[in-house]
Every structure is written in C-alpha cells, then in structure tokens.
Structure 1
Amino acid sequence: MSTITNNDTFANPLPIVPATAAESDRSRESETSLESRDRELFDTIAEKYAAKDRSPSVRPARRLRLLQTMRALPQSSLQGKRILEVGCGAGYSVDYLPADYACYLGIDYSEMLIDLARSERQTDRATFATTNARDLKTDEPFDIIFMIGVLHHMDQMDEVVQNLVSLLAPGGWLVVNEPQPSNPIVGLARRLRKQCDASYSDEQLELTGQEMESCFASAGLTSLRLRSQGLMSTPFAEVPMKPSWLTAPASRIACGLDRGIEAVAGRLLTPLTWNVIVAGQKPCDAQSTLPNSQTPSA
C-alpha cells in the first residue's frame, strides 16, 4: 500500500515518501491485468504523451478541458484548497490551474510520466508520486480530487472511487471528465483512432453520465452534478496538429466557441459532446475514513 504523509502544516505540500522496493513489488502484484498493460503502455509512450502538452495547438484545449471540469463545482475558486489529481501524467495541470491552491498532489502509476512531472513541474506547492489510486492513503484529507480521462482506463472503477471518497474531507468534491458514447460520429472517430494509433489503448471504456452518477452515489457522494464538455475543442486536446501557425489559432477559436456554446446550451449538448463531467460532494456530516498512516521505512 502506498502511503504519503504530511508532517508539516495543513497548507504546505505533501512531502513524498519514497516506497521501498518491497512496497513497489507489492503494489505491482496488486495490479489487475488491465492496469498492468495500461501502466506499461504509458511508460512506453511517456515522452510522446507529454509532448502533447508542449504543442501550441493542444495546450489551449487541454487547459479549457481542465478549467471547464473545475467549473462544474459550485465554487470554482481553488484558493486555499488541497487538491489531488489522479492520473496526472506529466503534471501539466500545474500550468493550467489557477495558482492560489494550498497544495497539489499528482499521482499516476506510470513511473516514466511521474519522472517527467517531477523533473519539469514540481514546485514548493506541487508534488508528484507514483502510486495506484486504489492503494493511496494520506494523513490529511483533500478538498478537491479530480480526474481527466482516467476512469475509463480502470476495470475496478467502483473500488477506486470508494477509496478516493475516503480521502476527501467532509464537504469535499470529487469531479471527473470522461469520454462518453452518446454521439455515434464521435464513437466512430474513437474506433478509427484505436485502429490507427498504437499509443491509443484499445481497452478503454466509454462511460455514460448516468453510469458515473450511479457509481458516485454508491460511494456515498451527494449533490451530484452533470455537465457536457467538448464539442469542437476536444480533437485539438488529443492530437498535436501542424502547422502550428494555423492550428494554434484554430484551437483557440474552437475553445472560445465551446465556452460560449456550453454556457448557453448546458446539458442539452450531452448527445453531441465528446466528454461529460460528473461531480459529487462528500456529505459534511460524513466521518473521515482515513486510516492512521505509517511512514514506510526508507
């Protein structure tokens, strides 16, 4: 079990406690076969995956996707919040988030992606750790936990969500942004990409908003919110396009159109959009289920 402890004040970032070799082996042993294949894939394509966020055409769309996800929360301000990102990849959310959060922890089970995140994005308030979301335990709860395109890679979604809820402070929020299957044209584009792009896993699920809402409710979350996201900007978020002098402005225009259309049409867009956002709140009267953490020996 991966343990991350915080021996400093509540507002400070969470120091990373390196796992021992034995703990790493146990974590690998607990992986499902799908998780193992997914981790190996992302270790293999880590540099290529990180390069997306360096592309001038991709960055605006990925930033919009993250900010629209956060806007599903009743209070979009992150000031003073403790934030956990599951499936953080190379850590570029640190570039896109408003910088007024108290601390941010990004986790991923790809060691190669976390190495990139630590080398390029680690700050005094943003830290990264290699761990499986099913196993994560911390001393202090989080105010916000978010995932962008992560749940559909998991074959034990209910177990992951239940563990994440245990890491939330009472009144805290879990919010996810996931591909959804309503638009048949979008579904066809994804199937074609699976056939043509070796770096695109062919084992991904497509989750409806209702399926995610049901999962959240079963884990004890309330005040559920569902939003549609990504009509024109999502293709720019997924595939770097050239020439950048043309595609970067096109990406920004697509983002601007999406912001306006989503603000007006809201959930009416669900049959058309690439993604759906679901958020749920841990009841304020819920007792924290965080176990007493023990710092593993070095």
Structure 2
Amino acid sequence: MNKEIFDILIIGAGVSGISCAIEAKIKNIDNILVLEKSDNFFDTIRKFYKDGKRVDRNWKNHIVDIIGNIDFFDSTKDDTLKYFENLLAKHNINPLYNSEVEKVIKNSENIFEVYSKTQKFLAKNVIITIGKMGKPNKPDYKIPLEIQKIVNFNLDSCTKNENILVIGGGNSAAEYAYSLIDDKNSVTLAYRQKSFSRINETNENILKEYERTKGLNIKLGCDILSLEACETKVNVHFSNKESSIFDRLIYAIGGTTPTDFLKNCGIQIDEYHKAIFDENFETNVKGLFLAGDLAAHNEGSIAIALNHGFKIIDYISKR
C-alpha cells in the first residue's frame, strides 16, 4: 500500500482528468496523483482518432466558453497530443499508467481508499473522470466468432482497398467514413434513423460532399438484423431485406456508462442509470467528484471537459 495521503486523486487521464491535474497545480495543490488504466494519456483520442483527424473544441456546434486556465482551439490529433504533452511537462504531472481502478471506498477516517489491481492509494478527494468510449457499445445481435477479426470498433486494423461498412450516426461514424474513403477504401455508412441528428454541421456537409463526389454510400433508416460469415468476409442482412458482403465492419455506436463501477464507489444512480451529483460535480459521497462525459449533457465536448476540471478544483481549493 502507498501510505501517502494525496490531497486529490484523479481517476483517468483523458481531457477532464488532465484538466483537473493542471488546474490543481495552478492552484498550488501539488500533492496529487493521476491513475490511468492504459499506457498513455488521452487513450480515447489515440485509439479512436485517426492520425491527422480534426479534434474539435466544441461538440455539435454547441459553443462553450472556456473558463479555466487551459486554452484550446480546434486542432489535429497530433497537435492536440503534443500540446497537452507540453502542459504535463510544464506542470510536472506524471500519471501512473497501467493502473486500472477497481473500487473506491471511503473509510471511517473519511479518507478514500482507491484500489487498483495491484495497489491501494489514499486520498482526501477523488475525481472520477473515466469516459464512455473506453467501453464501446456493441450490437445486440451475435457477431460470429470466425469474423470477429474483421469486426472492429476503431480504425486500428484498417488498410486500403477494402469494402467497409461503418455503422453509426454520430461524429465518429461520419469521420471514420470519409477518412476511410481518403485511404482508398469503398465505404458504406449505415444508420438506423431516417436522418442524422447527432453530428455537427461540418461533418454532415462533408458526408454530403463525399456522397456526391467520392462514392460514399449512405444507408439511412436501415438497421442490421444479423451478420453471417462468408469465407473471409461478412454478409450483412439489413432490415430492408437487402444483404451485402463487406471486407470489414466498423462500429461507432458510442459507449456505455460504467454504472456498476459507480455503484461500487457508493455513488447514487437515478432512474435513467446516470450518476447523481450537485452543481460542484460532487456526488452524494462527500469529496468524490465526477467530471467529463459522466457529468456532461454534451458528451465529447473538450471545452466542457476543461471547464469541469476548473470548477471542481476551484471548489476543492476554496473548501
């Protein structure tokens, strides 16, 4: 057990987690620790954003003023990672990587015991900043074992000259679709709703342009009923009674709230399976806070995630 009692322990090194850490340092709260389950910060951006992909400050044109000390503008994936890497170095923040947290308990002395797979840490305040994309949603229908290697939830395994089906109606699905076309692939984008309602105007305009000029096939109002292995490919059966064979499937259908983990931490959950917290992002467990997608109405907004970090640290420092 690490016997040091940290003033603030942050779970997750995504945008909101790093924001909390930097804002704490600026408030001269140096005794902090960031735990991250992956081997680097911004794991979601590294995995789900293709190299060169634009990283938007806001989400779905929902403009939010940044109120904290971290300024950020629309950038590319590479420039975003470099920008925050420099901030981490400037403020001497060194997350402890490969440290997945399993539970958080507040003991009789009002100190939090934070358990990873290998260690226990102690802290006066804990901020949970884990996102949802780290645990992507999966379809209800069965994915046959023999095709699982060509059914993906990011672009890591994609090559060139493939016939690819992208499933989803959000910004990630749109950006996957047109970036795959740029990589010389044939792409179909399937969304079960009759119109796009979750993507920003920029991405919607790009999709229309790629559909008009670059051969993007968009299937709206069309759900998938089942998947069937077809030698080294996959035969997709749609709800409109059509079937098509693809080299690869990419799912971009969002992530799920880690409800069980939050419950194990003693956090109250409402009837909609969302965590309950106050205006300071503090849960019913005093000293235990939520930031990022877990506390946002507009998931994916970097501006909102940065603001969460500022507000929480400002509140803790005053208290």
TM-score w.r.t. length of structure 2: 0.29
Higher helix share: 1
